[in-house]
């Protein structure tokens, strides 16, 4: 949505500004359009405002409608559904669509010590990590395996020695629990 | 497009982009820049693409994310920008490229190109300052991500205007854009069923 807020809205503001502050002496600086194109209010060309507004409205309507039709159409073609599966969303698009990772350091379960020069084919020397094991968040792993998290024994916030922010998260969870706020572990429901 | 972030598939989005460029972007560009386009004949002032580039990309991203649907909130436990250094680097690269984009739209190394570059920089700087001040109002911190957002919105607003307006009004443009776009980011909370991440770019 911030794409719309920044690009859409700022584009509209810029176009409206042309109507108010467009000036013929700036346009003529290229030595070609001298005196041909009138500016906006600065040149007393007041009808420029509704011309700009009509153009803005036309652009918005056309692009939104045609884009929505295209997106819906592609979505209905077999094999071209736009949205990735839930499992893929859990794992992240890096893993699902590319198989490479831009932000490896946030993945806490990966085997960092495996980053040594290759000595053999990858299949022979690497321990493949199962998809459901690739999360630092245990609820996500359990959701991928298809059962709801075991709320009584563990919610993944215990100190394991490798995870930096666990104490902070655990403390926050306790606070939330004390306040009865939503999102406290144990209240989360998985399908 | 940032609209597909973390929930869209790659190949369908490629198909979409091809069809979109053919059926959405090109016709709108033809409206305003072809001598026979209706907007050109109508006298619309659009310097480097406020309509075809910015409005169209914004509205299309909105439509695409509407079709995609929101991300699942239970999966967004750790939802924040990955790396502020990369955001800043990307913004600065974008700014640099934008000078070529706006300056080059004068179709020549002339004074209008210089004026377009100067207007772009002025609008970007004042929009980012305004955005930072508005964020400071809420958080009492000077946000680098806010600076980047403001900078982009200023550059976007300068795109249709930079070849037309005098420099003093580029400053006004930057400030007004910063204010309007900062509050426009709140629009997404009206439609909570859609989400794109902070800082998604087309």
Q: Give dist(CA A24, CA A43) in Å, integer.
A: 7
Pull the structure tokens for residue B193: 């069923």
Q: Is B201 helix (H, G, I), strand (E, B) or coil?
A: coil
Evaluated on CA atoms A166, A169, A170, A171, the torsion sign reads positive
CA atoms within 13 A on the CB side of A42: 19
Pull the structure tokens for residue B125: 């700087």
Buried b (16+ CB within 10 A) or exposed e, B5-28: bbbbbeebbeebeebbeeebbebb
Mean pLDDT of chain A: 68
Site from A5, A8, A9, A10 to mutate, B interface, most B CB atoms within 10 angstroms? A10
Closest CA to B128 of B149, B99, B102: B149
Closest CA to A23 of B118, B51, B47, B125: B47
Backbone torsion region of residue B5, taken as left when φ is above 0, otherwise alpha when ψ lies between -120 and 50, otherwise beta:
beta
Q: Do A11 and B66 touch (CB under 8 A)?
A: no
What's the pLDDT tens digit per position in A123-159? 665 566 665 566 556 666 666 666 655 544 444 454 4
CATH architecture, domain defined by B2-189: Orthogonal Bundle (1.10)
The helix-helix angle for B144-161 and B111-139 (nearest 10°) equals: 150
Chain B environment of A38 (Cβ under 8 Å): 43
Which residues does B87 contact at the CB level (< 8 Å), separation at least 6?
B81, B144, B145, B148, B199
pTM: 0.67
Other CB atoms within 10 A of residue A155 CB: 20
Is A82 near chain B, with CB under 8 Å? yes
pLDDT for res B95: 92
- Which among B23, B110, B196 has the least Cβ separation from residue A29? B110
pLDDT for res B128: 93
Site from B1, B62, B154, B176 to mutate, A interface, most A CB atoms within 10 angstroms? B62
For residue B193, report the phi and psi dihedrals to the nearest 5 degrees: -80, 0
What's the pLDDT tens digit per position in A30-85? 766 666 677 777 777 777 888 888 888 888 888 888 888 888 888 887 777 777 77
Percent of chain A with pLDDT over 70: 41
**Domain range annotation of chain A:** 2-76, 87-179
What's the pLDDT tens digit per position in B18-74? 888 888 888 888 888 877 778 877 777 777 777 777 888 888 888 888 787 766 655
Q: For B76-83, which contacts have Cβ atoms below 8 Å and span 24 or more sequence positions?
A: B77/A137, B78/A106, B79/B197, B81/B145, B81/B198, B81/B199, B82/A102, B82/A103, B82/A106, B83/A103
A144-148, A167-171, B73-77, B84-88 — which one is most confidently predicted on average?
B84-88
Residue B113 near residue A30 (C-beta atoms within 8 A): yes
Q: Give dist(CA B155, CA B97) in Å, integer.
A: 11
Is A118 near chain B, with CB under 8 Å? no
Other CB atoms within 10 A of residue A80 CB: 16
Greatest CA separation for chain B: 54
What's the pLDDT tens digit per position in B111-168? 888 888 999 999 999 999 999 999 898 888 888 888 998 998 999 888 888 888 888 9
Separation of CA B150 from chain center: 10
pLDDT higher than 60, residue A15: yes
CA atoms within 13 A on the CB side of A146: 0
Pull the structure tokens for residue B99: 């000078």
Q: A 45-74 residues with CB below 8 A of B?
A: 48, 51-52, 54-56, 58-60, 62-64, 66-68, 70-72, 74
pLDDT for res B171: 92
ipTM for the predicted complex: 0.78
């Amino acid at each position: 949505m911030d794409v719309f807020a920044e690009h859409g809205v700022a584009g509209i503001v810029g176009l409206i500004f042309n109507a108010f502050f467009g000036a013929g002496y700036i346009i003529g600086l290229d030595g070609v359009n001298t005196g041909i194109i009138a500016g906006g209010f600065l040149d007393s060309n007041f009808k420029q405002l509704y011309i700009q507004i009509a153009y803005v409205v036309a652009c918005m309507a056309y692009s939104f409608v045609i884009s929505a039709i295209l997106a819906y159409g592609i979505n209905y073609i077999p094999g071209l559904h736009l949205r990735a599966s839930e499992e893929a969303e859990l794992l992240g698009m890096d893993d699902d669509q590319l198989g490479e990772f831009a932000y490896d350091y946030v993945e806490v379960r990966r085997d960092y010590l495996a980053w040594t020069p290759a000595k053999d084919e990858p299949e022979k020397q690497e321990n493949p990590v199962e998809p459901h094991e690739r999360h630092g968040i245990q609820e996500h792993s359990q959701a991928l395996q298809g059962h709801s998290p075991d709320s009584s024994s563990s919610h993944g916030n215990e100190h394991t020695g490798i995870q930096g922010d666990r104490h902070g998260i655990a403390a926050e969870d306790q606070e939330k629990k004390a306040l009865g706020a939503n999102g406290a572990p144990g209240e989360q429901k998985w399908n | 497009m940032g609209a597909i972030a973390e929930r869209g598939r790659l190949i369908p989005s490629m198909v979409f982009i091809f069809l979109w460029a053919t059926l959405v972007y090109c016709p709108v560009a033809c409206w305003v820049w072809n001598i026979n386009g209706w907007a050109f004949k109508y006298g619309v002032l659009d310097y480097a693409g406020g309509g075809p580039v910015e409005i169209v990309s914004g509205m299309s991203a909105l439509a695409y994310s509407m079709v995609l649907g929101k991300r699942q909130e239970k999966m967004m436990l750790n939802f924040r920008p990955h790396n502020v250094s990369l955001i800043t680097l990307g913004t600065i690269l974008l700014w640099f490229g934008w000078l070529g984009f706006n300056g080059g739209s004068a179709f020549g190394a002339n004074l209008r190109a210089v004026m377009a570059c100067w207007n772009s920089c002025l609008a970007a700087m004042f929009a980012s300052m305004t955005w930072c001040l508005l964020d400071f109002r809420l958080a009492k911190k000077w946000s680098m991500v806010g600076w980047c957002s403001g900078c982009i919105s200023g550059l976007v607003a300068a795109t249709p205007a930079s070849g037309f307006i005098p420099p003093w009004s580029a400053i006004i443009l930057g400030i007004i854009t910063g204010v309007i776009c900062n509050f426009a980011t709140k629009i997404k909370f009206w439609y909570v069923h859609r989400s794109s991440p902070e800082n998604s770019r087309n």
